A = this chain, B = another copy of it.
Amino acid sequence: MSVKDLVRNELKQRVQVSSTRQRYVDPPNMISLAAGDPNFLLPDYIADAISAAIKGGCNHYCFGDEAELKEAISNYYSKYGYKAPPNLITITSGGNPSLNQAYAAILNAGDENITPDPSYGGGGGMMRYLSVKNVHAPMKKVNGLFRIDLEALKKAITPKTKSLYLDNPGNPSGAVFTKEELKGIADLAIDHNFFVVSDETYSEYVWDGHKHECLIAIPGMENRTLVCMAMTKMYSWAGMRTGWVITGPELAPYVASAPSGSVSWPIQKGAVKALTEGYEYVETIKKEYEERLDYATKRLNELPGIKCTKPEGAFYLFPDISGTGMTSQEFGEKLREEEAIRISGSMYGPGNAKGHIRLSMIVPLSYQKTPSWYEVTKDKTLESAMDRIEKFVKRHVK
């Protein structure tokens, strides 16, 4: 009997899929508009706080996680109008670990989760692992952005539905859901008795007067909502690994008790510093992203066959490229081969992502070249990328 026969059932399929996936080697002039890894360095005071924590004894166990961090998260989140008691917050090691922890607390084998299409598929690995069926419900396009379609959601609900995934602000959809939209979702969750895994990773990035609203603040939703967040996007914290799950008093002990990775104590101390004193840094990043979004939206709308709406939130563009006559996969492959631009597209759902590509306003070259975050603002990388896309589209679309 081979080792493969002995390993966990779900993994057999998963490893096979990953080993047959094609690997590309990037040419040296590649510009990636695919990544979700903010390309800013951290302010020096973060590294200094972490170094001081290590020298001060934070190499020791931190049972129950850093109380100051839970306090800082509670204060941070209260700006959205909901005050979570610190003891109901579970610290995780990032965005996907938050989703994994949330799903692990609530899903049994045979349960179903609903994921709107298109949206981020981060918890999919854990769902397969828990033998949970992930059902897609189409979103509807309103004024160029994908929004929740309550009728489509209703159709996807079965007696086995245990949870709904919701990313707000949406990735790649760009929608920031209104209080009214969230109320509609809450009514469904209460009527049909399911949880909502509310992925609020991009809450910091909301544009043009839109406002981030909290599902968990809606009456009846406190113990039905698992707010999953991370510092990855909001604080350029991808490799540092810090996230959290906020939920209500009935649900919190179950989230805290699910098996999880553990989070470095010195990094938690750095996160306290970032959340309590780092807002100027976040403001600088926000301004830069919005300039990039405005610039790229304008450039794209000048091209034949492309319609691009500036998102209400997050830092991705999700233009409709169906007018070019190419599928999103063709567009992505040719753009990579002919112009050395990497994008993502068809991975955000089986249906509605068709005819769209996702362009991240993170442009990865700059952070490798600059010594300090203060200097990381405009370089010519995004401009070059848009020039290449222009050349590409004008060559293919007559």
Contacts and interface: CB of A to CB of B under 8 A. Distances in A.
Interface of A: 1-4, 6-9, 11-12, 14-15, 18-19, 35, 37, 39, 41-42, 44, 46-48, 50-52, 54-55, 57-62, 92-94, 96-97, 100, 104-109, 125-126, 129, 162, 193, 195, 223-224, 236-241, 248, 250-251, 253-254, 257-267, 367-368
Contact of A93 (B18, B100, B262): B262
30 contacts: A1-B193, A2-B250, A3-B251, A3-B254, A4-B250, A6-B162, A11-B257, A11-B258, A15-B253, A15-B254, A46-B54, A47-B51, A48-B51, A57-B368, A60-B239, A93-B93, A93-B264, A94-B262, A97-B262, A100-B259, A104-B129, A129-B258, A129-B259, A240-B266, A241-B262, A241-B265, A260-B261, A261-B263, A266-B267, A267-B267
Contacts of A240: 54, 59, 264-266
Nearest to A44: B55
A59 to B, nearest CB: 5
A27 B43 CA distance: 41
Most interface-central of A14, A46, A51, A239 (chain B CB within 10 A): A239
A108 to B, nearest CB: 6
B106 A238 contact: no
Contacts of A100: 259
A262 B96 contact: yes
Contacts of A251: 3, 7
Contact of A55 (B7, B47, B259): B47
Given A254-B8, A265-B240, A266-B239, A367 B50 contact: no
Contacts of A7: 105-106, 251, 254
Contacts of A47: 50-52, 54-55
A91 to B, nearest CB: 11
Residue from the set A19, A57, A265 with the largest chain B CB neighbour count within 10 Å: A57
Nearest to A93: B261
Nearest 10 pairs between A and B by C-beta?
A261-B261, A239-B265, A47-B54, A51-B51, A3-B250, A93-B261, A47-B51, A7-B254, A61-B238, A15-B253
Contacts of A97: 261-262
Please tell me how many copies of the chain the complex holds: 2
Contacts of A18: 253, 257
B8 A61 contact: no
Nearest to A224: B3
Contacts of A267: 264, 266-267
Contacts of A238: 59-61
A257 B59 contact: no
A94 B59 CA distance: 12
A14 B58 CA distance: 29
A42 B15 contact: no
Nearest to A372: B55
A93 B100 CA distance: 15
Nearest to A248: B3
B261 A60 contact: no
A30 B57 CA distance: 20
Given A251-B3, A263-B241, A57 B93 contact: no
Nearest to A46: B54
A42 B94 CA distance: 25
Nearest to A250: B3
B46 A14 contact: no
